[in-house]
Chains A and B, each alone.
With several copies, the nearest count.
Chain A
Amino acid sequence: MSPVWINLSYLVSAIFFILGLKGMTRPKTAVRGNLCGAIGMLIAIVATLLAAEVVSFAWILVGVLIGSGVGAYFATTIKMEKMPEMVALFNGFGGAASMFVAGGDFWLRTGDPSSSVIISTALAGIIGAVTLTGSLVAFGKLAEFQFIKKLKALPQQQIINAALAVLLLILVSVILNNPSSGWYWLIVLVALVLGYMLTISIGGADMPVVIALLNSYSGLAAAATGFVIGNTILIIAGSLVGASGLILTQVMCKAMNRSLPAVLFGSLGPAVDGPSADEVYTNVKSTSADEIAMMLEVARKVVIVPGYGMAVAQAQHAVRDLMNLLQEKGIEVTFGIHPVAGRMPGHMNVLLAEADIPYDLLLEMDEINSDIEQVDVCLVIGANDTVNPDARTNPQSPIAGMPIINVDKAKTCVVIKRSLSPGFAGIPNPLFSADNALMFFSDGKQAVMDIITAVIEG
Chain B
Amino acid sequence: MNTLLAFDEKTAETTEKVVEVVSQVVPLPLVIGLTILILAVFLGFELITKIPPTLHTPLMSGSNAISGITLVGAILVAGTEHGGFAAFLGFLAVVMATVNVVGGFLVTHRMLQKFKR
Residues on A facing B (Cβ under 8 Å):
2-4, 6-8, 10-11, 14-15, 17-18, 20-22, 24-28, 30-31, 33-35, 37-38, 41, 44-45, 48-49, 51-57, 59-60, 62-64, 66-68, 70-72, 74-76, 78, 80, 83, 86-87, 90-91, 93-94, 96-98, 100-105, 107-111, 116-117, 211-212, 215, 218-219, 221-223, 225-245, 247-248, 251, 337, 339, 344-347, 349-350, 353-354, 356, 358-359, 362, 364
Q: 5 closest pairs, A vs B, by CB?
A: A67-B98, A243-B44, A63-B94, A71-B103, A346-B56
A2-B23, A38-B105 as given contacts; A240 in contact with B40, CB under 8 Å: yes
Q: How far is the CB of B37 from chain A (nearest CB, A)?
A: 5
Q: In the complex, A110→B86 CA distance in Å?
A: 13
- On chain A, the residues within 8 Å of B100 by CB distance are 67, 71, 90, 93-94, 97
- On chain B, the residues within 8 Å of A6 by CB distance are 4
Contacting residues of chain B (32-49) with chain A, CB-CB under 8 angstroms: 32-45, 47-49
Contact A48 B110 (CB under 8 A): no
Contact B31 A7 (CB under 8 A): yes
Q: A55-B79, A93-B99, A346-B56 are in contact. List 4 more A-B contacts (CB 8 A).
A: A25-B51, A226-B33, A349-B53, A356-B114
- On chain A, the residues within 8 Å of B76 by CB distance are 48, 51, 53-54, 101, 105, 229
Smallest CB gap from A350: residue in B: B57
Contact B99 A108 (CB under 8 A): no
Q: How far is the CB of B102 from chain A (nearest CB, A)?
A: 3
Contact B96 A96 (CB under 8 A): yes
Contacting residues of chain B (55-86) with chain A, CB-CB under 8 angstroms: 55-83, 85-86
Contact B48 A67 (CB under 8 A): no
A48 touches which of B37, B72, B85 (Cβ 8 Å): B72
Q: How far is the CB of B91 from chain A (nearest CB, A)?
A: 4
- On chain A, the residues within 8 Å of B101 by CB distance are 41, 67, 71
Q: How far is the CB of B19 from chain A (nearest CB, A)?
A: 9
Smallest CB gap from A101: residue in B: B73
- On chain A, the residues within 8 Å of B69 by CB distance are 41, 44, 222, 233-234, 237-238
Contact B74 A41 (CB under 8 A): no
Smallest CB gap from A70: residue in B: B99
Q: Quick check: is B92 within 8 A (CB to CB) of the other chain?
A: yes
- On chain B, the residues within 8 Å of A27 by CB distance are 52, 54-55, 112, 115-116
Q: In the complex, A230→B64 CA distance in Å?
A: 22
Majority secondary structure of chain A interface residues (helix, strand, loop or mixed): helix
The bracket for how many chain B residues form the interface is: 35 or more
Contact B61 A71 (CB under 8 A): no
B47 touches which of A18, A60, A98 (Cβ 8 Å): A18
B7 touches which of A31, A105, A244 (Cβ 8 Å): A105
Contact A354 B44 (CB under 8 A): no
Contact B62 A24 (CB under 8 A): yes
Contact A359 B54 (CB under 8 A): yes
Contact A34 B70 (CB under 8 A): no
Q: In the complex, A100→B99 CA distance in Å?
A: 15
Smallest CB gap from A239: residue in B: B40
Contact B94 A358 (CB under 8 A): no
- On chain B, the residues within 8 Å of A21 by CB distance are 44, 47-48, 51, 63
A247 touches which of B48, B82, B106 (Cβ 8 Å): B48
Q: Quick check: is B20 within 8 A (CB to CB) of the other chain?
A: no
- On chain B, the residues within 8 Å of A221 by CB distance are 67, 70
A71 touches which of B54, B83, B98 (Cβ 8 Å): B98
Contact B44 A346 (CB under 8 A): no
Contact B94 A53 (CB under 8 A): no
- On chain B, the residues within 8 Å of A44 by CB distance are 69, 72
- On chain A, the residues within 8 Å of B116 by CB distance are 27-28, 31
A71-B103, A235-B33 as given contacts; A346 in contact with B59, CB under 8 Å: yes
Sample (21) of A-B pairs whose CB atoms are under 8 Å apart: A7-B31, A14-B39, A18-B47, A21-B51, A34-B109, A45-B71, A48-B76, A54-B79, A62-B91, A66-B98, A71-B99, A72-B103, A90-B65, A104-B85, A107-B85, A215-B60, A218-B64, A226-B73, A230-B33, A244-B63, A349-B55
Contact A76 B110 (CB under 8 A): yes
B79 touches which of A15, A60, A66 (Cβ 8 Å): A60
Q: How far is the CB of B23 from chain A (nearest CB, A)?
A: 6
Contact B89 A100 (CB under 8 A): yes
- On chain A, the residues within 8 Å of B70 by CB distance are 94, 97-98, 101, 221-222, 225, 234, 238
A237-B67, A346-B53 as given contacts; A98 in contact with B73, CB under 8 Å: yes
Contact A54 B75 (CB under 8 A): yes
Q: How far is the CB of A84 from chain B (nearest CB, A)?
A: 8
Smallest CB gap from B42: residue in A: A18
Q: In the complex, A75→B98 CA distance in Å?
A: 12
Contact B97 A337 (CB under 8 A): no
Residue among B24, B35, B103 having the largest count of chain A Cβ atoms under 10 Å: B103
- On chain A, the residues within 8 Å of B37 by CB distance are 223, 235, 239
